[in-house]
Amino acid sequence: MEFLIAPIIVALLASVLALIISVLDKHVNNYGDVEININRDKKVLNVKGGDKLLKTLSSEGVFIPSACGGKGGCGACKCKISTDVGPILPTEKPYLSAEEINENVRLACQIKVKKNLDISIPEELFDAKEFSGVVEEINDLTYDIKEVIVSIGDESIDFVSGRYIQLVVPPYGKIKESTQRAYSISSKPSEKNKIAMLIRLIPDGIATTWVHNYMKVGEKLKLIGPFGKFEKSDSNSTMVCIAGGSGMAPFKSMFHDMLEKGEIDREVWYFFGARTTKDLFLLKEFQEMEKEWPNFHFIPALSSPLPDEEWDGEKGLITDILDKYLKTEIDPSKHREGFLCGSPGMIGACNNILNHNGIQDIFYDNFA
Amino acid sequence: MAPDINPLVLLFASIFTSNILLANFLGMCSFISISKDMDSANGLGMSVTAVLTITTAINWVVYKFILIPFDLLYLRFIVFIIIIAATVQVLEMVIDRFSPSLYMALGIFLPLITVNCAILGVALFMEIRGYSFIQSIIFALGSGLGWWLAIVSLAAIQKKVLKAPVPEGLKGAGITLITIGFMAMAFIGFSGMLIVQ
């Protein structure tokens, strides 16, 4: 019987500790019923206190964007809290500018709901919803980029081209916790019961590994959105769009939308940067578009084409190509605007080139 | 039997001559990562001291009255860790509820401390060296204060280093590790004065 003593003692010890924690949690961590007032009486929620604001709001159907899934790792879940909730936490500091701190902007994932709160969030977040979908198609676009098309059944999504959506990644393999990652929507706004994304495999990326190696057609998943501010402007100025890799997604949606709505008077220059022909995709689709839409110019460019590759398009860094076209091809007398989607490095570099060429209005969503 | 040591000697020895961080090299990860700014370093040092003292006291009781009588010494690692984790959880909840300002200063560091090896290290030292209850508490308090002293000193030095012309390749972790090396050497200078191990 002696061999039983050890497991019994450990089990007893653990259960006593667990009991203490759960009793304390019930009594100490009980903040009673709390009222959250969003955007001055626009929406008033009566909730139980004790959880983080982000989680409390999402359980009530108000979705604040969060690319990291509430771990304090992205700084996307900013919202203004006009009630005093104590000083800025060290976990929030890295994500807030001095101006934001002045305006009581906080990270919703770090603030615990303990008392009545008055908060304000961008109005369009009320449109963000949670969608249950089924994976309809997974298409290989290149060796490392997949197009995932999710059908959301009878539900319908309203969004403006350029918005992103958050993919809820369930626990899989060695990953024990659910997490969320943001992807631009590549389907057209008119396809109301479909959400498509372009997802590039990042080595050891939690979400991208799941999509590339685990996800199967027919799998059920959840999506939250739409979020973001990236969209085409209302003016008739020349659009200078630059993308790399899976940054293709929002532009795919945008151009198809414009084509569908007949906005083809507008001049669009679309630069797509890749390393070799292996990294290029959807070329035909955009070349077709050029035929239907004379003012649409598609310029794919390879930065390091292999010697034996057949390629008669532009060669060189996308920034150099962009500079060349801005100086020689794209009429500077018309107002020009920049639209960017890609890696932070690419966005920074293209921002510089656009600025040097006198383009001040530059749009992009900053999420990593 | 508990060793016969003057409590004051034990306290000073655990702070200086056998500093848990700079002589035993325990608790390095949070030491390096949280020492960039003085306020956080101070908060973390305070929390480590509090958690260390409280958990060592509880661990001593469990060790003496449960592990020894039932001859379960081989389970001490698991049991100590469970107790540390649970205590930290309880402390975090209680502080968050009853003292928001204290929570601001040290509460948010508490989850970090669960996996701080200095805490488990002190529990194991107390067992190996056979300290009595009072001695264990003094030793834990001293180790915590020593850890606190070390991290605050490092944060202060880092502030100076920021203004120094550090070679490009050594910026960040490189110069921090070199600084810690110098600090460890300075603390080793104390080591002949008081002997407790």
ipTM confidence score: 0.78
Mean pLDDT of A326-350: 89
Quick check: do A128-227 and A238-363 share a fold? no
B194 part of a folded domain: no
Residues in chain B closer than 8 A to A10 (CB atoms): 75, 78-79, 82
Q: pLDDT band at residue A293, thresholds of 50, 70 and 90? A: very high
- Domain of residue B52, residue span: 7-188
Q: In what order do the strands lie in the sheet with A78-81?
A: A43-48, A33-38, A117-120, A78-81, A105-107
Tallying the residues shown for chain B, one arrives at 197
B1 part of a folded domain: no
State residue B108's pLDDT score.
Answer: 65
Q: Which CATH class is domain A33-124?
A: alpha beta
Which residue of B70, B78, B89 is in closest CB contact with A21?
B89
Q: Best interface-test mutation with A: which of B35, B89, B92, B102 has the largest number of A CBs within 10 A?
A: B89
State residue A228's pLDDT score.
Answer: 84
Contact A5 B72 (CB under 8 A): yes
Whether B5 shows a pLDDT value over 90: the answer reads no
Chain segment A226-246, per-residue pLDDT in tens: 988 888 888 889 999 999 888
Contact B97 A25 (CB under 8 A): no
Chain segment B68-123, per-residue pLDDT in tens: 988 888 888 989 999 999 998 888 888 888 777 777 766 667 777 877 888 999 99
Write the CATH number of the domain with boundaries A238-363. Answer: 3.40.50.80
CA torsion angle for B66, B67, B70, B75 (degrees, to 10)? 130
| A28 and B CB contact within 8 Å | yes
Mean pLDDT of A95-116: 90
- For chain A, the structural domain boundaries read 33-124, 128-227, 238-363
Chain segment B137-176, per-residue pLDDT in tens: 999 999 999 999 999 999 999 989 888 888 988 888 889 9
Whether A67 shows a pLDDT value over 80: the answer reads no
Contact A17 B75 (CB under 8 A): no
Which residue of A14, A17, A28 is in closest CB contact with B97?
A28
Whether B59 shows a pLDDT value over 90: the answer reads yes
B193 part of a folded domain: no
Number of helices and strands in chain B (H, E) = 9, 0
Q: Compute CA distances B54 → A70, A322, B76, whole Å.
A: 31, 63, 17
B80 part of a folded domain: yes
State residue B195's pLDDT score.
Answer: 66
Residue B77 and residue B85 in contact, taking contact as beta carbons nearer than 8 Å: no
Q: pLDDT band at residue B2, thresholds of 50, 70 and 90? A: confident
How close B17 gets to chain A, by Cα (Å)? Answer: 32
> Which percentage of chain A shows pLDDT scores above 70?
99
Rounded to the nearest integer, the mean pLDDT of chain A is 89
Whether A367 shows a pLDDT value over 70: the answer reads no
Mean pLDDT of A177-203: 90
Residue A296 and residue A241 in contact, taking contact as beta carbons nearer than 8 Å: no
Q: CB-based contacts of A264: which residues, under 8 Å, 6+ apart? A: A258, A292, A293, A294, A295, A296
Which CATH code, of 3.30.460.80, 3.50.40.10, 2.70.150.10, 2.40.30.10, is assigned to A128-227?
2.40.30.10
| A87 and B CB contact within 8 Å | yes
Q: How many domains does chain B have?
A: 1
State residue B1's pLDDT score.
Answer: 60
